[in-house]
Amino acid sequence: MKVCIIYDSERGSTEKVARVMADAIGGRVEVKVLRATENPDIEDCSLVIVGAPIYYERPLPSVKNFILSKDGLKGKNVAVFILCIADKFGRLGKAYTERRYMRLIAEPIKGRIIARKVFDGWILKENPETLREAQEWIKRVLEAYERENVLEEIEHPGGGENEG
């Protein structure tokens, strides 16, 4: 089994999260970490993880462009993650994150989305809690994939789903 983690990053935080995820499951499966702008070949990937930071109210366009260039990842099992700070604004921030940011990255996906996660982003100082959550989340995603399950709820920082 091969897992491909496709991302783009402006300041390195999304790349760091992608690489931490790869390290967390690298002993169990073959993992490739690839930048969306490199238009990587994902044909042999059983599970595709797509990640993007939020800038100017949207995921980086390069990630959406990658998804579109691969026919919406049709026929693939897909997990999606974003890094942003909107969740810090409580329930309304979480709801907005789901309605706006997660929708924008998930909407063009034609494959089977098995998991969605919002991580707290950072600008200057690396967030160790985000990195810990990334390690745990990718393990849950892999387990869900292996059991042919879907993690229905969008996960938010702190491990919780959106409340109502």
The helix (H) or strand (E) run that includes residue 154 is: strand 154-155
- Segment 115-143 shows an average pLDDT of 95
pLDDT score for 124: 83
Token pair in block for residue 75: 């026929």
Contact 37, 154 (CB under 8 A): no
* Percent of all residues in the chain with a pLDDT value above 70, rounded to a whole number: 96
Token pair in block for residue 142: 């892999």
CATH number 3.40.50.360 given to 2-155: yes
pLDDT at 160 over 50: no
Letter for the amino acid at 96?
Y
156: pLDDT confidence band, cut at 50, 70 and 90? very high
67 or 124, higher pLDDT: 67
Query: Where are the domains positioned within the chain?
Result: 2-155
Token pair in block for residue 99: 């309605």
- CA 159, chain centre distance (Å): 14
144 Cβ contact list (under 8 Å, min separation 6): 114, 115, 150, 151
Q: How far apart are CA 144 and CA 120, in angstroms?
A: 23
164: pLDDT confidence band, cut at 50, 70 and 90? very low
pLDDT score for 142: 97
Q: Using H for helix, E for strand and C for coil, what is the string for 25-89?
A: HCCCCEEEEEEHHHCCCCCCCCEEEEEEEEECCEECHHHHHHHHHCHHHCCCEEEEEEEECHHHH
pLDDT score for 131: 97
Handedness of CA 129, 56, 68, 37 (dihedral sign): negative
